[in-house]
Chain A
Amino acid sequence: MKKACIITILLSVAAPIWGQRALTDIPDPDPDYQLSLMTPAEGFEISLFASDPMISNPIAMSFDAKGRLYVATSESYPQIRPGQRASDKIFRLEDTDGDGKADTRTVFAEGLLIPTAILAMPEGVYVGQSTELRLYEDLDDDGVADRDRVILSGFGTEDTHHLVHALAAGPAGRIHFNQSVYIHSYLETPSGLHSLKAGGVWRLRPETMDLDIYTRGLWNSWGHQWDEWGQSFQSDGAGYDGLSYAFPGAVFVKSDGFQRYLRGLNPGQPKLCGLEIVSGRHFPESWQGRIITCDFRGNRIISFNPVDAGSAFRTPQSEDLVTSTHGAFRPIDVKLGMDGALYVADWYNPIIQHGEVDFRDQRRDRSHGRIWRIVAKDQALVPLPHLAEASVSKLLEQLTIPEASTRQQARALLKVEGAAAVQGPLARWLAQHDGSGPEGDRARLEGLWVLQSLQIVDEALVERLLDSEDFRMRAAALRVFEEFPDKLASTSSILKRAARDPHPRVRMEALHALRSLGGAESAKVAMQMHEPSMDETFDFALWRTMRALAEDWIPAAEADELFFGDAAGRLVYAVNSAESAEALALLLEHWKKGRIDGAAREDAMLLMCERGDAAVLTLVWKDILENEPGEGSSRASVLEALLEAAENRKVIPDFEQEDLVEKIGQAGPDVRTGYVKLAGAWKAEESVTALKTIIQNSDTKKTLSDAAIDALARMDSEAAKKGLLALMDAEQPFETRLRAASGYAVADPVAAAPSVVAMMVDAKASNDVRELVRPYMAKRGLSEALARRLEGATIGEEVATTLLRMLSSAPTSLDKLETALRDAAGIVPVDASLSASQLSDLIEYAQRSGDPARGEGIYHRDALLCATCHAIGGAGGALGPDLTSIGASAPVDYIIESLLEPAKKIKEGYHVVSITTKGGAAYAGTVAREDEQTVALLDMTSQEINIAKSDIANRSMIPISLMPAGLTTSLRKDEFADLVRFLSELGKEGDYKISKVPMVRTFRYLDDKGGDKGMADTVRHNHISYMATDDPSFNWISRYANVDGRLFLDKIPFFRREGGKHFNYLRFDVKADEAGVAGLKFNDSEGLRLWMGEDEIEWTGDLAEIEFSEGVHTFTVAASRYERANRNLSISVMDTTETTTHIQIVNGK
């Protein structure tokens, strides 16, 4: 055995002196010291508003109308101890002398169990704690609540930090609050039971107890706030998509009950907590409208700049407001005060979270906590408005001031005054603000919201706003119908008008209202907004609407075949949304009558494949045989859909085998593979000869011959098995033999065992042998049979290591096969456990001697597989958690233990599900996708395994990690320390923080196939522009840039050209939201050539301004080794004055 083992090296380290104390890396809690490590943005100052012992561990905060700050705190987080009474507190803080520091504190409420949400409203202070939402009232306003009651109860107890949070007042009289992914809630209300079994935003009108769900999904959303036009945004504290644009009915990742969801606006972002939108006279003009949120892991407060984009938004990241190198600074809530300053709740804790780190870890802070205050230098604060004593007319005056949070308070106070007191003065006030410009619009919108909060819809006001030139005002006006569709007789005609609005956001708001209004007519109006090209958010809203209204429109469309007009695409779209058998029947009716034509035909066929039974699939197959595909569409996707129907739903059409054989023989290259795959899935034995011909033809592309071998393997017939055996003949190329043996193992694992062993013996490190052994993982008996066959065999160490890694994530113990593999390769197992003292030594060593720069190089070594499964800034695999801010969030001991013993700590969403099928096969992996019919597991080789739900006998969650143990055993001790140091720097302030600017992080380089001569010749003899073509012999391999975006060109293969010059060839993908110009900036353009598709791009300087069409574009870069002195390459997105579209770098695996 050649491998060095870090554990044995560790044991040789000198005996520990300070033991466990090394684990307590606790920063000095002195507020002045903490302040000294904070860097505010240019032009800002940060100071302490309140600190321990006045408060400790603040979780959430809220200002009341008198400007006093209510702070929910918890010392008992994350888990109350036996015998401990609930003793957490709500404090009320007040700055009575206006010096920017809290000077008065009362204990407003106590005896709470981990209060996670707070909202001060005129009727009292809402608090989310334990399984309840409660209301505390302070009748004499002495700062101590006099009575309280439960408003809602029945929130789940699955996870403390997923319970009720982000309480927020909506613009029109409802309160909102969030729960997160683990929580399963059953809430009793006077109108019935409401349940939500995952994350989402609840919406409550307290005076009627009307409750509904505003948005669904997100892992753990702790921020939610509205902009000036009533559009809201959420942040996610456990996802990696940054912000999300929230609207009624929106669905985000991991929802209860929806497969389809909207991605967030900032893929690859660190986790975020809290959310505030800047408005008001105190913050500088350039900050107005920005979204401020907290990268609590990275100890910083960051900002985003929302920009309208079609029906939705994009939110490019902007300046950091505050950065810090103090590891206990945990900003988690941000709120603008009435004085215009920004207040920050600093939970203050070196340890965050409670999944990975023990509940009782002594490093958890239970006594400190801060509220910070950020002000703009040399900028006057806003004078306090004295709302609480104000009359109705004074409150109305406040509705024109620039501070949105103060306007919110004023509207809430007006609601308390009641309709009788408010309506008259409001009408007079609106008459005084009757201008047609932005000021008049603002007054009207505020008035509309006040009336909505009083459950009144004023038609004239809505009509005036719909006449606004500002689409945001028109959109805002429609939202009132989403809550009160029935209040006006004219709702329907108003929405019809809005459905023709030139702006998609306005039309989308009409969709929300139509969904709420219901009825077939609403569905018809909604479908009139359908266009062949809709942006993703609009498309989602339309789909959601048609789905919600399915029961209304299906009977209408049955009765009137022209219900959606004569465009077949609309009918297909509606049916696709409805997901019901009746809808499919409707489609078939139209199909049989020949009413579906043009581009809609392919969509209809896909839908039929997705949902139809054998008879419906037979219609599809008949169409394939009888008709040519329509213009612009291809059979390939339909064949793929037929394949999925066979694999996932076990549905196949009635078909004549000879038809399929004929198709295999005659089909063009784009679809031939599809027919070949169907031959396997449909077990068309008559195609065996045709498949063998394909495989034996030396001109056949590898993808096609692989498909043919796989088809034979699935055929389950003697003729097919014979075919496979012939392909395993020693005269065949090794890759063919390997594929055939893998197939044979699937078809007949027992008979194939000797051949499988023979292949393992012959395999080299570069061969992927996993498919050979996978069939033996399904059953213990099979694995043992293979183990017996391995006796006496000798296989390569790399081959065995790859297989052992795969076996380590098997759902059942395959110890005999593991032992046999180790014996065959001479591998000795290592014990990865560390004692406490070894661990503390290692931490100390990593911190003292580890070099993060070297560590980053080690991270990218192929042998360690880090980037295969983990992403940093969105670049890398998705099998394991994203590591963007791991260093800022996880203590070093956690990182080390996770490297050595991955199964000890497993992040949410990465738990391994074990599935046993009725056929006895067993699979394990994380759930990649799931719908009603199938589960897709991602196994540890990132292979997606589709399992039909009807096949599942047993499904359970198992406590193993897909990360194989021992990945780092090949490292020397210093290398291990470097790697740990690199990981522990990730996300912290410094060199290993992901930049705000989007960069190319996932490159693909051209592989030289180990110096393959044919490959070298192809490159040398073709024109350089040939490198931009899709020659199938090119093998492009992912390579990830460093955290700072640099790719080291010397670490990837280069190729010689005719004339002796050497070049690296690289690719990356860019997605343009719409057609237009956008810029790519190079760190250095010297010696670079660039192609978009096959078109070469010309540019000067370092900024290339490129004309994009909508969609994803592949770029090819040629970097001359001699003409380019700079051996690094980095490419970022740059907005210029010429920019007319938004582009995203497609990073990922």
Chain B
Amino acid sequence: MKYLGFGFFYRVSVYIAGPAFVLFCMVASPFSFGEAIELKEGDRVVFLGDTFFERASRYGHIEAALTANWADRKITFRNLGWSGDGPSGRARAFFGDVEEGFGNLKSQLARYDPSVVFAYYGAMDSFAGEEGLQPFMEDFEKLLAAIDKPGRRIVLLTLTPREKMAGVLDDAASQNRKASLFANAVRGIGQAGELTVIDLFEALRKPMASGGNQRLTDNGVHLNDFGYQLAAAAILDGMDENWRGKAKRFRKRDTEWVESLYAAIEEKNEYVFNQWRPQNETYLRGFRKHEQGQNAAELKAFDTYIEATEAMIKELIEAGNPAAVLGKLGGNSK
């Protein structure tokens, strides 16, 4: 990441203030730009964001896709998505103010010291429309400045579009107009900071608007299983133009093995969740820690189980059929 300067926000404003943004594509996908980024041996990946990433943990597609595409490499993943969060860290504040939430976000990230961060923000902020744009961008700039460090690669994801759903989300068009402002803002931030941007907003817009028989969301906003499959594919598109080719090399369907891989990923994510976001926070680490703080020591012990499950995932992927995962994501359908 090349920027860190004062006045970044103003530069970004210039980018997005124009009638249209200019893409300088360095990778094959039409829905991503910036420097192509691949995962390397030993990478520690953190997913940072709101409900998009929090629920991705349960569906498993994104993590499975990245694991399978770079199956020969040891890569670990920590999902730090938190429903309702924004780049300010507001949802992580516990009893404190937004500043404390931001501090918590930083220390949560520092605990895993990632080499790669995927950041997804804006879904809820976008409801504020134009008025919400400036505070969102300022928060995002502050976040990026805080998490940037030498050797760390940061990938920005634009928010997913809204899907019309009768009775639940009738105003998809107007919501998407607002959402596009925020997608645009993230693109602008990416360009200004010379970061890789994966444009989920554009990538999912077409399948969503086509009104096919398969819905992408549960409620117009939050992706369902199919939606996450498409999102995972879009992320791979933005990172490796050859992944669909890899998928084609393995035509064998291997449902049982894929399920066991997904199950292992889910198990690992469950341990991770119960470690970094345990219940009874107030008693373990908060203002009642003098009562139950002795039990906070248990949290460290989750590491053993997380590492063991990661070893299991590695074994599965080495012995198994990673392209079957890629195939499942639609790689061999094109």
Contacts and interface: CB of A to CB of B under 8 A. Distances in A.
A157 B305 CA distance: 22
A193 B290 contact: no
Contacts of A159: 279-283
Contact of B282 (A79, A131, A153, A182): A182
B290 A78 contact: no
Contacts of A85: 267, 270
Contact of B168 (A156, A186, A195, A208): A208
Contacts of B318: none
A83 B302 contact: yes
Nearest to A957: B287
Interface stretch (A351-359, A532-540, A837-845): A351-359
B31 interface: no
Contact of B280 (A78, A150, A187, A957): A78
Nearest to B96: A184
B295 A190 contact: no
B94 A156 contact: yes
B83 A131 contact: yes
A903 interface: yes
B302 A154 contact: no
B218 interface: yes
A81 interface: yes
B245 interface: no
A792 interface: no
B54 interface: yes
A643 to B, nearest CB: 31
Nearest to A82: B301
A911 B282 CA distance: 12
Contact of B279 (A160, A188, A189, A905): A160
A190 B168 contact: yes
A113 B270 CA distance: 10
B292 A355 contact: yes
Contacts of B127: 191-193
Nearest to A77: B279
Contacts of A78: 279-280
A209 interface: yes
A86 interface: yes
A187 B221 CA distance: 12
A374 interface: no
A81 B283 CA distance: 15
A500 interface: no
A258 B283 CA distance: 26
Interface string B24-55: 00000000000000000000000000110011
A82 B291 CA distance: 20
Given A359-B292, A906-B291, A82 B302 contact: yes
Interface string A141-178: 00000000110011011111001000000000000000
A82 B272 CA distance: 10
A719 to B, nearest CB: 45
Nearest to B294: A358
A209 B222 CA distance: 12
Interface residues of B, number: 54
B55 A153 contact: yes
Interface in B263-321: 267, 270-271, 274, 277-283, 286-292, 294-295, 298-299, 301-302, 304-305
A911 B267 CA distance: 37
Given A157-B280, A158-B282, A188-B51, A905 B291 contact: yes
A149 B218 contact: yes
Given A150-B55, A188-B123, A360-B295, A355 B270 contact: no
Interface in A98-128: 113-114
Interface in B141-187: 162, 165, 167-169
Nearest to A207: B167
B84 A193 contact: yes
A356 B280 contact: no
Contacts of B167: 207-208
Nearest to A356: B291
A130 interface: yes
Contacts of A86: 270, 274
A959 interface: yes
A160 B283 CA distance: 10
Nearest to A152: B83
A1009 B177 CA distance: 78
Interface residues of A, number: 51
A79 B278 contact: yes
Contacts of A187: 83-84
Contact of B221 (A154, A190, A356, A959): A190
A783 to B, nearest CB: 24
Interface string B177-221: 000000000000000000000000000000000000000001111
B78 interface: no
B298 to A, nearest CB: 5
Contacts of A192: 124, 127
A808 B227 CA distance: 59
A836 interface: no
B91 interface: yes
B83 A154 contact: yes
Contacts of B90: 186
Contact of A158 (B94, B162, B168): B94
Nearest to A149: B218
B280 A79 contact: yes
Contacts of A207: 167-168
B82 interface: yes
Contacts of B83: 131, 153-154, 186-188
B93 interface: yes
A158 B219 contact: no
A83 B298 CA distance: 10
A690 interface: no
B6 interface: no
A802 B203 CA distance: 72
A80 interface: yes
Interface in B219-278: 219-222, 224, 267, 270-271, 274, 277-278
A902 to B, nearest CB: 12
B95 A184 contact: yes
B298 A81 contact: yes
Contacts of A153: 51, 54-55, 83
B77 to A, nearest CB: 19
B63 interface: no
Contact of A190 (B165, B224, B287): B165
A184 B89 CA distance: 13
A412 B232 CA distance: 39
A195 B288 CA distance: 23
Contacts of A80: 274, 278-279
A572 to B, nearest CB: 34
Contacts of B271: 82-83
A185 B90 CA distance: 10
Given A188-B221, A190-B169, A82 B304 contact: yes
Contacts of B222: 150, 188
25 contacts: A80-B274, A83-B304, A150-B55, A153-B51, A153-B83, A154-B83, A156-B94, A157-B279, A158-B281, A159-B279, A159-B282, A160-B280, A182-B95, A188-B83, A188-B124, A190-B162, A190-B219, A190-B220, A192-B127, A193-B127, A195-B84, A207-B167, A208-B168, A359-B292, A957-B287
Listed from nearest, the 5 A-B pairs whose CB atoms lie closest are: A186-B84, A154-B83, A959-B290, A82-B301, A957-B287
Given A163-B279, A354-B283, A959-B287, 14 more contacts: A79-B279, A82-B271, A82-B302, A82-B305, A83-B305, A113-B274, A131-B83, A154-B83, A158-B281, A184-B95, A188-B84, A190-B169, A355-B288, A356-B291
